[in-house]
Amino acid sequence: MTRYDVFNGDADGLCALQQLHLSEPEAEQAILITGTKREIALVQQVPAEARDQVTVLDVSLDKNRGALMDLLARGVSVRYVDHHYPGEIPEHPNLQTHIDTTADRGTSLLVDDLLEGRQRAWAVVGTFGDNFDAAAIRAAAPLGLQQDALERLRELGILLNYNGYGATVADLHFPPDALFARLRPYADPLEFVRCDQAFEALRTGYADDMARARAMSPEHQNATHLLMVLPAAPWARRVGGVFANELAQQAPSRAHALLTQLEQGGFVVSVRAPIDRPDGADALCRQFETGGGRKAAAGINQLSDSDYPRFVEAFLAAFDTD
């Protein structure tokens, strides 16, 4: 029997996997399958056979439905934990699902539920990374952390999330599987912050990239919507999601769209629903061919130049306050 762990390369996926690996000793032998944050068609990469076990974390079931059904047909046991739009959830004796699309509950918190809080600090990191600050603070309350320690967990979550964004793994500071290997020895995320040089490397890269992003001006801005376009550059591809999160935190009643130009033309899109009304981002993005995500935050992997006016119109019409 072989175990495969399939996970999103962002903070939520990394921290969900970290919790499981700290709690399940047999997980150390698992074969890892991951990619950049937007590389979500991951289940098709699993070469599992009958009696093998697969855990899938933080990638949409709806986007992996065909590959999932193929695994089940081959006699593979699958545990699926996620918070993105799933579509119709299949029923199968070999499929165990823990899927919850509540707007402020990420995969790290779903795994935390399964483990009854045994690795809570890592769940807090992943929840901060997914821009669910209020939920992360609530989850951290039983840990009794000082404010500076809580802020460090928040910073780590943001940096892990930042590392996941890019057109390819070459854009990232660390491949997600390599970054997970550095996290794996640390039951305490604060110990990772103190001891592993990856934290400072990510902190430096984040500061440089965010300074460039903050110097940009929006294409559209009013009380309810902000849309910004970033250039086709590695720094912009790395910063897109975390910059959208920062803008959302700064103006919680406003919707945000961050479009990053692609070298081959078109855009990759990050959308954030207003934090005060965290709903509708996934519905907006699913209007476009490569779009998907969750209620509070979603994206489009490739928006054509010809679809740009239609997206702007749809974005400005969405998140109505009436």
What pLDDT, in 10s, does the model give residues 263-305?
999 999 999 999 999 999 999 999 999 999 889 999 999 999 9
The answer for residues whose C-beta is within 8 angstroms of residue 29's C-beta and 6 or more apart is 3
Q: What is the pTM of this model?
A: 0.90
Give me the pLDDT at residue 321, please.
60
Identify whether the C-beta of residue 301 lies closer than 8 Å to the C-beta of residue 38. Answer: yes
- The model's confidence at residue 123, banded by pLDDT at 50, 70 and 90, is very high
Identify whether the C-beta of residue 81 lies closer than 8 Å to the C-beta of residue 57. Answer: yes
Give me the pLDDT at residue 103, please.
84
Give the neighbor-by-neighbor strand order of the sheet with 53-57. Answer: 31-33, 3-7, 53-57, 77-82, 95-99
pLDDT tens-digit readout, 213-263: 999 999 999 999 999 999 999 999 999 889 999 999 999 999 999 999 999
pLDDT tens-digit readout, 4-21: 999 999 999 999 999 999
Residue of 310, 171, 139 whose CA lies nearest to 239? 171
Q: Which helix (H) or strand (E) holds 121?
A: helix 120-129
d(CA 167, CA 174): 14
d(CA 172, CA 162): 9
φ/ψ of residue 143, rounded to 5: -80, -20
d(CA 73, CA 263): 39
Identify whether the C-beta of residue 281 lies closer than 8 Å to the C-beta of residue 294. Answer: yes
Identify whether the C-beta of residue 3 lies closer than 8 Å to the C-beta of residue 53. Answer: yes
d(CA 219, CA 258): 10
d(CA 199, CA 191): 11
Question: Please, what's the b/e burial string for 286-305 (b: 16 or more CB within 10 A of its CB; e: otherwise)?
Answer: bebebbbbbbbbbbbbbbbe
Question: How many alpha carbons lie under 13 Å from residue 77 in its C-beta half-sphere?
Answer: 7
